[in-house]
Amino acid sequence: GYRVEIPAIYDKYGVRGAVISAVDLIKGIGRLAGLEVVNVKGATGWIDTNYEGKADAALKCLQEKDFVFVHIVSTDETSHTGDVGLKIKAIEDLDKRFLGRLLDNIDGDFRILIMPDHPTPVRIKTHTSDPVPFLLYGKDVKADKAKRYSEAEAEKSGLFIREGHELLNLLFETIPP
């Protein structure tokens, strides 16, 4: 292969960041975008991943960095099995063991962007190109009328971002350096 040119996050947004993932492709993209790659013991990319370790590593990164990108792929991987119960467990573990731990321990002004990189419906066990919902929470984020995080609620909102990278504009806008 050949090296792809990706603009550095710092050059575009003026923020320094890190990436945490079990997936080498994500680590490589992060490195190309100028992010520090942080490895977490027990990060497997599966339902047994070290959610707490990823949350703790993210919190530690935020002591020195402006942001951290945490890639958790267990929900995608369990969808490929077609096992709804396993997918629900992955979502619940992500919510409680990663996100809950992160929110219980984060200090100061912050924003969190939650989203999948693509849909993987359990019923077909493969990726689709359908739009994905996203949740942006934190300082200076104006709430919409959504009652829950789902594809159906996202569709009702009327907000559609054509290019995924444009979400970074929402994430980083009005955040002081």
What whole-number distance in Å separates Cα of residue 172 and Cα of residue 11?
13
Tell me the pLDDT band of 174, cut-offs 50, 70 and 90: low
Tell me which DSSP letter residue 5 carries. Answer: P
Q: Is 72 a domain residue? A: yes
Work out the burial of residue 170: count CB atoms within 10 Å of its CB; fewer than 13 is exposed, 13-18 middle, 19 or more buried.
middle
Q: Which letter does DSSP use for residue 161 in this model?
A: -
Residue 66 is part of a domain; what is its CATH number?
3.40.720.10
Give tens-digit pLDDT for 35-52: 999 999 999 999 999 999
Query: Is residue 172 assigned to a domain?
Result: no
pLDDT above 70 as % of the chain:
98
CA dihedral (26, 120, 149, 91) positive or negative? negative
In a domain, 97, yes or no: yes
- Label residue 163 by pLDDT band (50, 70, 90): confident
* Residue range 150-162, pLDDT digits in tens: 888 888 888 888 8
How many separate domains does the chain show?
Answer: 1
- Hey, what are 119's tokens? 């849909």
Whether the predicted pLDDT of 117 surpasses 90: no
pTM of the model: 0.91
Is position 143 within any domain?
no
User: Is 145 domain-assigned?
Assistant: no
Range of the domain at 59: 9-130
Residue 153 lies in a domain: no
User: Residue 165 domain-assigned?
Assistant: no
Q: Answer whether residue 92 is part of any domain.
A: yes
> What span, in angstroms and rounded, lies between the C-alpha atoms of 17 and 148?
29
**SS3 of 150, please?**
coil
- Characterize the bridge pairing of strands 67-70 and 36-38: unpaired
Q: Quick one: pLDDT band at residue 176, thresholds 50, 70, 90?
A: very low
Mean pLDDT to the nearest integer, 80-108: 96
Q: How far apart are CA 66 and CA 172, in angstroms?
A: 10
Q: How far apart are CA 98 and CA 100, in angstroms?
A: 6
Angle at alpha carbon of residue 47, lines to 45 and 51, rounded to 5°: 75
